[in-house]
Structure 1
Amino acid sequence: MYFSSATTPEQRCLELLSQEYPTMSAASAAIINLEAVLKLPKGTEHFMSDLHGEHEAFTHILNNASGVIKEKVDFVLGKTVSEKERSRLATLIYYPVQKIEELKELGIVNREWYRLTLYRMVEVCRFVASKNTRKFVRESLPKNFEYIIDELLHAHFEDHPKERYYDQIITAILDVGHAEEFIAALAELIKKLAVYKLHIVGDIFDRGPRPDIIIDKLMAHHSVDLQWGNHDILWMGAAAGSPACVAAALNITLSYNNAELVEEGYGISLRPLGQLAEQVYAHVDCSRFAPSAAETAYISPQDTDRIARMHKAIAIIMLKLEAQTIRRNPDFAMQDRLLLGAIDFSAGTVNIGGKIYMLQDTDLPTIDPADPEKLTEEEADVLAKLCRAFMQSEKLARQARFFYAAGSVYRIENDNLLFHGAIPLKADGTMDEVCFEGTEYHGRALMEYCEKAARQGYFAPEESDERQRGRDFLWYLWCGPKSPIYGRAKMSTFEHLFLNEKDTWDEKKNFYYDYTDSEETFCMLLREFGLNSNDAHIINGHVPVLAAKGENPVKAGGKLIVIDGGFCKAYHSKTGLAGYTLVSSSRGLSLRSHEPFESIQKAITENRDILSSVAIFETNRERRLIEDTDEGQAIRRQITELQRLLAAYRAGIIKENNKQ
């Protein structure tokens, strides 16, 4: 489109808008439709955190929408269908392909089963669709069956009986042999419509076996955002080629005996590290570096020893790299973590905070007491190969870019402030200042500086000073004492590996956690981010809620909601749960606490669901509509622009185009 030099910027915008709405009728119809959308109930949002690689449990919760789908099945069919059949139908919705195969083997699947199943699924789908806008439903329809499903969902039955109408369409589907495809399409649509938006409040990586599978599922989700956890940041740094992050990621991976993630998940060979371990650590005591008994229950003693040697090799490399990173960045204020330099090698002791401790492992063949932080030539060679492999992993690069595209340090949406860790506070509850590159930051400004530096670490030109600084900062966000993503004074990896004194293992939490019962403090933090509403909340993950000991995840007079319920199996005994899902619907907030999940196979063959209990803790005074949300504000702006276009048509400033 040509614009004359006399055209104002506003008129140019209106002319561009007129291409989509070429007539007054089109603009008027759009305004009417948008005004109607504003009066619909807001979409249901689900919040989860600290998934920690537990891909099977996450897959199931994603499929069952944290128990919502079974509730819908029960509501729609509870009066006419048995509990056994409803559970089977719910499982079919979760895993349509696998469940049909299982039912075929049992001899249950026939033409009548297809007909009855399709009828029931359409009824459930109609009910779930009724809770969403027509636009969202239409955008969600599977392309191959778009017209048929639209007809089934939105048909009116004033003039003809529903059963006959359904039967005509379902019979046609059966006759052309597309019943299984249609069941799978309906199942995916039901799951999509059950959750309008998904928020993941950090820590997808580490501990559990396959975080990469979780990320692939999130990448396929219709609407998801991420708030970076410190474990996520670590892998983002590794993908960016940070040597310190690569070493730390492998240190955790091997400590949990999870080399499968690296080698099979991301196609990164650990052979160079294995060769170094065999050459240098074959006759070295590596007992403190062996994975826990739970992690080695299914592998041989020989493999356990091999993993321990690899773990020790990368842990020593990691400690050296961390020291180098700290020395390059004095404003990280982490000089107290230069522990290799605090070792007295002749006495076998280390000085930490002025106290002398006996090292429990002094068999350190790659450490030169005269220069303990220097890598050997062999270590440097292995590290270079590992960093190159991490950066060249296509899958890791794709997933890291997803983290940057869909993620952030914090997010504000619908009066909720989402972040993983903690906003650094002082002992008196005021915001702590942190100095980087000569400038002091606190609160929101600190969070925004951290995000800028994290992006710089991945996107700045390779070999540039900005890239080096950003990669170092990604490591700081993983474990730094004032990192808002980490929220602790130190990461005590050295102490765990080399000392028995458990008081040295303590990773003191930031003062933020001392104020979690203070409504005044959290109202102050919300105001820092421009949230003044009585309905505003901070939603955190990171620190597991010890529900088994009576801890309440809703804190600070309802202003803080901590949704780390112990998704990771290692935390189940501590929390008494296997994760939370926070649900924000048009009617209010509820917290769903999940019981441990056995396996996807048992879910399919035995219709075993994750048992979830629901606690409603905040009910809206009036049902919240789309006009009350951030989406509603965006729609209001769109309506204003359309009203300006309509006025321009009427004033003759913009001409209608009736030929489009």
Structure 2
Amino acid sequence: MRDLAYLKLLAKEYPSLKAASSEIINLIAICGLPKGTEYFFSDLHGEYEAFIYLLRSASGIIREKIRATYGYIIPEEEQMELANLIYYPDRNLNKIIQQGRGTEDWQRITVNRLVQICKEVSSKYTRSKVRKKMPREFGYVIDELLHVDYNDENKRVYYEEIIRSIIDTGIADKFIVALCELIQNLAIDSLHIIGDIFDRGPRADIIMNELMHFHDVDIQWGNHDISWMGAATGNPACVCNVLRIAISYNSFDVLEDGYGINLRPLSMFASKVYRDDPCSQFTPKILDENIYDAVDPGLAAKMHKAIAVIQFKVEGQIIKRHPGYKMDDRILLEAVDYSRGVVTIEGTEYPMLDTMFPTIDPKHPLRLTKEEDELLHTLIMSFRHSGLLHKHIRFLYTNGALYQCHNGNLLYHGCIPMRPDGSFEGMICNGEELTGRALMDYIGEQIHKAYFLSEDDPEKNGARDFMWYLWCGAKSPVFGKDKMTTFEHYFVADKATHRERLNPYYNLSQQEDVCDRILQEFGLYGEGSHIINGHVPVKIKDGEMPVKANGKLFVIDGGLSKAYQKYTGIAGYTLIYNSHHLALAEHKPFNPEQENTPRVAIVEKMKNRIMVSDTDKGKELMAQIEDLKELSAAYRRGDIKEQAD
């Protein structure tokens, strides 16, 4: 029997035998429903327009529902118009009204069509769950429309009268918007983001706002997310890194308009110190034009170089503080012969593409100048005091983790570090070597300490420095390479020095037995389990495939970021897991002026339909049912007194 004190607490929520029994019936019924549809996205990289389109269109699934419902009834053009209305109801409704097409007939037809699509996407949920997602002002009306019995003539007349009343009272437009948003809400039951929300693309902050309003989302942190999280802790190298990447991709809007980071001190410093330097190696890549904070490319290049040099200095300082990182070979400012303009890398001397370093003392190359130190302090304070940034970072912590086991699948962004022989790579942590799941758990604890420990805690600085190591360290599971060659990309022409070798995991994980060993390390067994990760773009144009290891591994980074699309040939993937199958939606490069519906292909069919009882949620519900049965028994024995209804 459950502890009596616990049952008394449970009795506050279910104060009678009738209430407990009713909830048992409800939970058993839910367990008998098909599982909700899970969506997996990876490597969003600030591409807010493309991501929001995929979210609202359910990566093409809503379009499929329309085709299945109306494919032989209405023309393709009208199907597409209905789909676009669902994705962007306010925008497209205004357009239709301006064109003079928003007549009462159009409103009646559109409401009818939307109700039918809503029925399709809500069919696997309980009425209670659907009602909870309905807008309060239209909940009763929508519920009635969704459950009309068309075989009953009286009910059919009732249905028509409801729609006529909606139009006559002038609320049809608002009702149409509400139906569209409900369809969006119901199409995706839960959302998994497999890392890298930030960097490269224009507005990661808009993506974060969208995720915060989504009903069920979890995030597995990527190295770019960790870098921003590190910046929020005040790590100077992470602050420099996120600024450097944003400036290098001309993403000033996300910094200044999005998070209110004051870049004026950096622009003034760069204009003064690099006044006579063209900084040609630091010209930003302009993939997106800034809307609010347009910056002259020449000034942006100077800002880019200024923050990069500061970053190399503070990174070297971190490496010297932590010999256990074994990264001394990455302190390349100390490997430069400033008089000759060459740098020695792994024993080989290379001429440098840029030799103008007005802020570097060759005798003490890692020492910040007074002006650099003051500037860095100002920039750190700007990150520490950004209200929206910390709101987003706390959401990342609350809804995120380094990995997650969910419904038999193992989700993580990068890799589980491995040695060439297939054993798990270890890291010395507090004098003990940790590997596999134990290492991932330890790293997760350090990530939390970096942000949540007080400034006077002796562990704070070490955890904060570790955030930078996770960005680029050889044993970091979110990085997964032997080194980060940022310095070489800027200063060395020989592309052989730019090479970053992937951790052995990336080759080994293409073997089914290796994937099984990784899954077992995390307590997952059986043929229905998969590894789902991103981080390394799948180059479809070179013949690579996202499904590997005989279906055990899904790599779903296919290039949602415009920066990767020339290498991949597509614009990423959505993995869709419903009660019948696993499917991959292959994205097209997003163009707001064109049709963007992804191509969806089933990649694995379930032997039996997956019900809620088969899921992690089902296990939770079964445990609740057992608790409620114990409570019911306690009521019957008189151990707990029932409260009057």
- Using the size of structure 1 for normalisation, the TM-score is 0.95
Pairwise mapping of residues 293-304 of structure 1 onto structure 2 (< 5 A)? 303-304=296-297
Whether the 8 Å CA contact 2:194–2:412 is kept in 1: the answer is yes
State which of 112, 123, 127 in structure 2 corresponds to 1:130.
123
SS of 1:137 mapped into structure 2: helix
**Distance of 2:4 and 2:475 partners within structure 1:** 49
The equivalent of 1:190 in structure 2 is: 183
Aligned partners of 1:177 and 1:294: how far apart in 2?
44
Q: By how many angstroms is 1:301 displaced?
A: 13
Q: Which residue does the alignment assign to 1:634? A: 620
Instruction: Specify which of 202, 211, 216 is matched with residue 204 of structure 2.
Output: 211
**Matching of residues 381-400 of structure 1 within 5 Å:** 381-400=374-393
Per-residue displacement from partner, 1:35-74 (whole Å, max 9, x unpaired)? 1211111000000101111111111111101001111112
Alpha-carbon distance in 1 for matches of 2:293, 2:65: 47
- Distance 1:645-1:553 versus aligned 2 partners, 3 A rule: same
Residue number among 598, 611, 636 corresponding to 1:625 in the alignment: 611
Residue 645 (structure 1) aligns with: 631
**1:532, CA displacement in angstroms?**
0.9
Q: Which residue of 2 aligns with 1:563?
A: 556
For 2:473, the equivalent position in structure 1 comes to: 480
Shift of residue 293, structure 1, vs aligned partner: 6.4
1:268 to 215, 237, 261: 261
Q: Would you say the 8 A contact 1:547–1:575 is kept in 2?
A: yes
Q: Given residue 364 of structure 1, which amino acid in structure 2 is its aligned partner?
A: F
- Per the alignment, residue 460 of structure 2 pairs with 467
- Structure 1 stretches lacking a partner, 5+ long: 1-7, 603-607
1:149-170 deviation line (CA, Å, top 9, x unaligned) = 1111123344335542222111
Residues 1:443 and 2:430 aligned together: no
Q: CA deviation at 1:175?
A: 2.2
Amino acid at match of 1:654: I
Which shifted more, 374-383 or 26-35? Answer: 26-35
Normalised by the length of structure 2, the TM-score is 0.97
**Structure-2 separation of matches of 1:447 and 1:342:** 33
1:201 to 194, 199, 203: 194
Aligned pairs for 1:531-550 (under 5 A) are 531-550=524-543
Instruction: Give a deviation string over 1:488-512, Cα, whole Å, max 9, x none.
Output: 1111110001100101101111010
- In structure 2, which of residues 104, 110, 124 is the aligned counterpart of residue 111 of structure 1? 104
CA deviation after TM superposition for structure 1 residue 145, in Å: 1.0
By how many angstroms is 1:375 displaced?
A: 0.5
Aligned partners of 1:186 and 1:103: how far apart in 2?
17
Residue matched to 1:59 = 52
Matched ranges for 1:586-625 at <5 A: 586-599=579-592, 602=593, 608-625=594-611
Q: What amino acid is aligned across from residue 644 of structure 1 in structure 2?
A: E
* Deviation for aligned residue 1:594: 1.0
Aligned 8 A contact 2:59 2:597 in 1: no
**Deviation of residue 204 (structure 1)?**
0.8
Output the CA distance in 2 between the equivalents of 1:635 and 1:379: 57
> In the alignment, residue 601 of structure 2 is paired with which amino acid?
A
Question: What is the CA-CA distance between 1:80 and the residue it aligns to?
Answer: 2.1
Aligned counterparts of 1:25 and 1:455: Cα–Cα separation in 2: 44
- Cross-structure match for 1:26: 19
Deviations 1:570-602 (A, max 9, x none): 211211111100000101211110111112xx3
Per-residue Cα deviation, 1:427-465 (whole angstroms, up to 9, x for no partner): 111101111332211110111111111111111102433
- Residue in structure 1 matched with residue 81 of structure 2 by the alignment: 88
- Correspondence for 2:363 among 342, 351, 370: 370
Supply the AA of the counterpart residue of 1:633: K
Counterpart in the other structure of 1:309: 302
Report percent identity of matched pairs: 48
Structural mapping, 1:133-148, within 5 Å = 133-148=126-141
Displacement of 1:33 after TM fit? 1.8
> CA 1:387 to 1:463, structure 2 compared with 1: closer, same or farther past 3 Å?
farther
Alpha-carbon deviation of 1:119? 1.2
Q: What aligned pairs does 1:163-174 form with structure 2 within 5 A after superposition?
A: 163-174=156-167
Correspondence for 2:570? 577
User: 2 CA distance for matches of 1:584 and 1:275?
Assistant: 51
What CA distance in whole angstroms lies between the structure 2 residues aligned with 1:197 and 1:396? 24
Counterpart for residue 358 of structure 1: 351
Q: Say whether residues 1:251 and 2:244 are aligned partners.
A: yes
Aligned residue number for residue 68 of structure 2: 75
- Whether the aligned pair in 2 keeps the contact of 1:331 and 1:437 (CA below 8 Å) is no
Work out whether 1:656 is the aligned partner of 2:633: no
**For 1:46, what is the secondary structure of its paired residue?**
strand
In structure 2, the residue matched to 1:605 is: none
Distance 2:111 2:287 in 1: 44
SS at match of 2:40: strand
Q: Is the 8 A contact 2:250 2:287 kept in 1?
A: no
Q: Does 1:430 align with 2:430?
A: no
Query: Residue 637 and residue 301 in structure 1: after superposition, are their counterparts in 2 closer, same or farther (change >3 A)?
Result: closer
Residue 467 of structure 1: how far off its partner (Å): 2.1
Report the CA distance between 1:611 and its aligned residue. 3.0
Q: In structure 2, do the counterparts of structure 1 residues 330 and 93 end up closer, same or farther at CA, with 3 Å as the change threshold? A: same
- Runs of 4+ aligned residues of structure 1 deviating over 6 Å after TM superposition are 295-302
1:408 paired to 2:394: no
RMSD across aligned C-alpha pairs, in angstroms? 1.8
- Deviation of 1:296 (Å): 8.1
Report the alpha carbon displacement of residue 347 of structure 1 after superposing the two structures with TM.
2.2
User: In structure 2, do the counterparts of structure 1 residues 300 and 61 end up closer, same or farther at CA, with 3 Å as the change threshold?
Assistant: closer
Range moving further from structure 2, 133-142 or 381-390: 133-142
User: Is the 2:267–2:303 Cα contact (8 Å) retained in structure 1?
Assistant: yes
Q: What's 2:319 paired with?
A: 326
**Aligned counterparts of 1:386 and 1:299: Cα–Cα separation in 2:** 20
Distance in structure 2 (CA, Å) of the matches to 1:301 and 1:169 = 51
Q: Which moved more, 1:80-89 or 1:486-495?
A: 80-89
Distance 1:296 1:260, change over 3 A: closer
What are the superposed Cα offsets for residues 597-639 of structure 1, whole Å, 9 maximum, x if unpaired? 112xx3xxxxx43131122111111101111000000000000
SS of the residue 2:39 aligns to: strand
Provide, for residues 77-96 of structure 1, a one-character-per-residue CA deviation record: whole Å limited to 9, x for no partner.
22322211111111111111
Structure 1 residues 463, 135: CA separation in 2 closer, same or farther (over 3 Å shift)?
same
Give 1:236's match in structure 2, choosing from 229, 232, 256. Answer: 229
Residues 511 and 151 from structure 1, CA distance in 2 versus in 1: closer, same or farther, beyond 3 angstroms? same
Worse overlay, 69-78 or 245-254: 69-78
Work out whether residues 519 and 556 of structure 1, in 8 Å CA contact, stay in contact via their aligned partners in 2. Answer: yes
Point out the more displaced range, 73-82 or 540-549.
Answer: 73-82
Where 2:160 maps in the other structure, the secondary structure is helix
Alpha-carbon separation, structure 2, partners of 1:233 and 1:45:
24
* 1:412/1:418 contact within 8 Å kept: yes
Q: Note the C-alpha offset of 1:346.
A: 2.1
Report which stretch shifted further, 315-324 or 180-189: 180-189
Q: Secondary structure of the residue that 2:528 maps to in structure 1? A: coil
1:417 match: secondary structure: strand
Instruction: Identify if the C-alpha distance between structure 1 residues 87 and 355 changes in structure 2 by more than 3 Å, giving closer, same or farther.
Output: same
Gaps of 5+ in 2: none
**Are the equivalent residues in 1 in contact too, given 2:195–2:413 (CA < 8 A)?**
yes
Cα distance in structure 2, aligned partners of 1:512 and 1:224: 27
Mapped to 1, the partners of 2:300 and 2:510 lie a distance apart of: 43
Q: Distance in 1 between matches of 2:16 and 2:294?
A: 76
Q: CA, structure 1 residues 362+300, in 2 after alignment: closer, same or farther (shift >3 Å)?
A: farther
